[in-house]
Amino acid sequence: MKLPRRRKLPPSWRTDVLAGLSLAFTNIPQVLGYARIAAMPSVTGLYTVLLPLVGFAAFGSSRHLLVAADSATAAILSGAITAMAAPGSAHYMALVSATALLAGMLLLAARLFRLGFLADFLSRTVLVGFMTGVGVQIAISMFHDMLGIQTTSHNPAMQAVETLTQAAHLNLTSTLTAGATVGGLLLLNRFCPRCPAALLAVVGAILADRTVPFLTQNLPTLGPIQSGLPTFQIPIISWNELLALFPVAASCVFVIITQSAATSRVYATQYDEELNENRDLTGLAAANILAAVSGTFTVNGSPTQTAMAVRAGAQSQVAQVVFSLSTLIVLLFLTTPLQYLPQCVLAAIVFTVALGMIEIRALLSIRQESPGEFWLALVTAAVVVGAGVEQGVLTAIALSLFRHVRHSYDPHTAVLQPFTPQGPLEAVPARGGLESEPGLIIFRFCADLFYANSTRFNRDILTLLSDAPHPVHCILIECSPITDIDYSAANDLRLLLATLKQRQVTMIFGRVSQDLRADMNRHHLIVAIGPENIFEELHTALAAARRYTDATNHTPGSFAPPHTPS
Same domain, 392 and 417: no
Same domain, 386 and 458: no
Q: Is the pLDDT of residue 7 over 70?
A: no
Same domain, 130 and 74: yes
Distance CA 298, CA 74 (A): 8
Q: Is the pLDDT of residue 562 over 70?
A: no
Which of 403, 424, 452 is where one domain is finished? Answer: 403
**pLDDT (mean) for 443-453:** 93
Residue 155 falls within a domain, yes or no? no
Q: Into how many domains does the chain fold?
A: 2
Distance CA 235, CA 105 (A): 14
Which of 403, 438, 469 is where one domain is finished? Answer: 403
**pLDDT (mean) for 513-532:** 94
Beta-bridge partners for 510: 478
Which of 370, 403, 436 is where one domain is finished? Answer: 403
pLDDT at 292: 95
Q: What is the pLDDT of residues 130-184, one digit of tens each?
A: 778 878 887 888 888 888 888 777 677 788 888 888 888 888 888 999 999 999 9
Same domain, 351 and 484: no
Q: 474-478 and 506-510 as β-strands: parallel, antiparallel, unpaired?
A: parallel
Same domain, 381 and 523: no
* Choice among 97-101, 109-113, 268-272 with the minimum mean pLDDT: 268-272
Q: What is the pLDDT of residues 479-491, one digit of tens each?
A: 999 999 999 999 9
Q: Answer whether 323's CB lies under 8 Å from 27's CB.
A: yes
Same domain, 395 and 429: no
Q: Is the pLDDT of residue 504 over 70?
A: yes
Going by pLDDT thresholds of 50, 70 and 90, the confidence category of residue 6 is very low
Residue 171 falls within a domain, yes or no? no
Residue 162 falls within a domain, yes or no? no
Q: Is the pLDDT of residue 213 over 80?
A: no
Going by pLDDT thresholds of 50, 70 and 90, the confidence category of residue 390 is low
Same domain, 251 and 382: yes
Distance CA 470, CA 439 (A): 6
Q: What is the pLDDT of residues 457-501, one digit of tens each?
A: 999 999 999 999 999 999 999 999 999 999 999 999 999 999 999
Label each residue of 101-134 as H, E or C: HHHHHHHHHHHHCCHHHHHHHCCHHHHHHHHHHH
Same domain, 453 and 397: no
213-217, Cβ contacts within 8 angstroms, sequence gap of 24 or more: 215/173, 216/173, 216/177, 216/342
Same domain, 395 and 417: no
Same domain, 385 and 452: no
Q: Is the pLDDT of residue 225 over 90?
A: no
If one counts every other C-beta atom within 10 angstroms of the C-beta of residue 553, the result is: 13
Write out the residue range of the structural domain in which residue 23 sits.
13-140+222-403
pLDDT at 523: 94
Output the domain CATH number for residue 467. 3.30.750.24
Same domain, 134 and 244: yes
Residue 47 falls within a domain, yes or no? yes
Side chain identity, residue 277: E
Average pLDDT, the chain: 84
Same domain, 122 and 250: yes
Q: Is the pLDDT of residue 559 over 60?
A: no
Q: Is the pTM of this model over 0.85?
A: no
Label each residue of 66-95 as H, E or C: CEECCHHHHHHHHHHHCCCCCCCCHHHHHH
Q: Is the pLDDT of residue 391 over 80?
A: no
Q: Answer whether 127's CB lies under 8 Å from 266's CB.
A: yes
Residue 148 falls within a domain, yes or no? no
Q: Is the pLDDT of residue 542 over 60?
A: yes
Q: What is the pLDDT of residues 293-335, one digit of tens each?
A: 999 999 998 887 888 888 878 888 888 999 999 999 989 988 8
Which DSSP letter does residue 228 get? S
